[in-house]
Amino acid sequence: MHARDNIRNIAIIAHVDHGKTTLVDKLLQQSGTYRDHETVQERAMDSNDLERERGITILAKNTAITYNDYLINIVDTPGHADFGGEVERIMKMVDGVLLVVDAFEGCMPQTKFVLRKALESNLTPIVVVNKIDRPNARPSEVIDEVLDLFIELGANDNQLEFPVVYASALMGTSSLDPEQQDSNMKALYETITSHIPAPTEEVNAPFQFLVTLLDYNEYMGRIAVGRVNRGVVKQGQTVAVIDREGKTKQARIEKLFGFQGLKKVEIEEAGAGDIVAIAGIREINIGETIADLANPEALPVLKIDEPTLQMTFLVNNSPFAGREGKWVTSRKLRERLFKELETDVALRVDETDSPDAFVVSGRGELHLSILIENMRREGFELQVSKPEVIIKEIDGVKSEPYERLMIDVPEDSMGAVMESLGTRKAEMVNMINNGNGQVRLEFVMPARGLIGYRTSFLTMTRGYGIMNSAFDSYGPLVGTNVGGRHQGVLVSSENGNSTFYGMMGVEDRGIQFVEPGTEIYEGMIVGEHTRENDIIVNICKEKQLNNIRSAGKDDTVKLKTPRLFSLEQALEYLNDDEYCEITPKSIRLRKKILNKSERERAEKHRKMSAGV
């Protein structure tokens, strides 16, 4: 073994929106990695359209910067627990982590989630208290919170001796003193190079490499990204590829790349401890080992947390099927879902008795909705069912996933929020009042109780509440009626276009989901009823004009603004007997059985079989 003193491999971990990606931007800019005339867009690491729009990191990315004589490989990880599959793999590539914590918000659920993964992998931590320039920053309390979290997660003595850097990623400043900021990131560079250990691996042993991430290039196909575990690898070398089941095949490394800034740079060879990209192996998958041909030894297969939520993806069979999408057949849907499995190890796809339906399981609503959003942008049309938690049997007890929920609310909304969560079987574990009119509440509750809660939470807190959750553990199944929607819906009885007159007629029955002139079909959900039962409405009704009724009488009357759903809101809103129809241009809610009398027959049959 020998250390490669000039290399540092680190991952940046944090809760969503605590400034990881902005911090990487500043580290890149100040290290001189970019040339003077290069223009660098903000959040350069978030390359996917969805990441830029939502301001979140979904896929782990890696980059490399040079500081003095050091090569610092940095991997930016997602903060959402839904992308835990990405976070876990990254821990295998690095020797240390930068834990970024907001100087005001402090430790949040995902901070705990990502830190637990890092400590389990025995990595060396550095804590970066970011956004130190916020007017209400409270760095010393935040450091106490971080220390408590390290102790709670069972950190060892070395990990508890973490150095702290205070920074403002936005301003590009850092220092070791919370009161005084230097005008650059030098304090952080110095802490990384002095505190994170250099990789210690055997360079003279047979080559071994674990595929941790996959990239894709239309000229070279799949590109395997990971860290050289031991030995040396050269361009043109013939290697053994060992899959997850232990089967071995032969392949040739056509091209080898290192990283410089955000670019891949072709290199001739790499040694143990380097993070590289290997091109030329056609059928490579995440979790497989690329090894020396003469001594093919597999590395331990990556352990990934099990999915906790599932949905059924179906071919679109609504009356409007095939109008807007490019890919509408079950063959294309199947192909696309199985392609996603190659890069997303936390996803599962199971075929059903029907060739048109697939059960897709993931780590949470965001995980699945990002997949659906990507598919609709690619031109797919599909339908999905209500998200359901995955129930497991553990030691003979039926168990369901529990989430740790952290809520920041104004004091005057606290009572309503606690009452609403009580009905969803939430148990309060902590409450902190910072004395600024805001209260932080921490709960542990069944994941089922959170489905569909966000919209009513925002209404209760008038938009001022902040809600974050992360998977906590599996616990005993509680009750049957947890969470879900209690209101009935307005269901269209006709095919046609919604009219102003028709919509006026049902306005007092509830909230409408469509605007006048929208094309609708029988069985489509067009609004929410004020009561618990569903009702059939005709909003396509035309006004009969005669010489007594004047045409312009309604011109002064205004309809209430309809509630239009985003994809996540639509998925949360669904009930068991409903689908969400998704096309490149539209999101529609509908009943599974569109015809009213067929729906009633099915309901009667269901009650008889249930003995109700």
**Binding site residue list for GTP:** 17-22, 130-133
Which residues make Cβ contacts (< 8 Å) with residue 388, sequence separation at least 6? 309, 310, 311
Report the alpha-carbon distance of residue 419 to residue 263 in Å, rounded: 52
Measured in degrees and rounded to the nearest 5, phi and psi for residue 432 equal -125, 130
276 within 8 A of 258, measured Cβ to Cβ: yes
- Who's near 279: CB < 8 A, 6+ residues apart? 217, 220, 221, 222, 223, 224, 253, 254, 255, 256, 257
| Best CA proximity match to 81, nearest among 587, 540, 551, 473 | 473
The structure tokens listed for 609 are 């079989």
Q: Which residue has the tokens 């009398």?
A: 597
How many residues are listed for the chain in this entry? 612
3-state secondary structure of 369: helix
CB–CB of 221/208 below 8 Å? no
Terminal CA-CA length for the chain: 70
Q: Which of 344, 309, 381, 326 is CA-nearest to residue 574?
A: 309
Non-local (6+) Cβ contacts of 152 within 8 A are: none
Amino acid sitting at position 476: P
Alpha carbon 167 to its chain centroid, in Å, reads 26
H or E, element range at 29? helix 20-30
Q: 583 near 381, Cβ under 8 Å?
A: yes
Q: Pick out the residues of the known binding site.
A: 17-22, 130-133
Question: What Cα–Cα distance (Å) separates residue 511 from each residue in 346, 490, 508?
Answer: 37, 9, 8
Question: Do 116 and 109 contact (CB within 8 A), yes or no?
Answer: no
Given CA atoms 395, 396, 397, 400 in this order, what sign does their dihedral have? positive
Residue identified by tokens 């490394």 is 253
Count CA atoms within 13 Å of residue 122 on its CB side.
Answer: 1
Cα distance between residue 19 and residue 528, in whole Å: 38
162: three-class secondary structure by DSSP: coil
Structural tokens at position 201: 């691996």
DSSP percent split of the chain into helix, strand, coil, nearest 5:
25, 35, 40
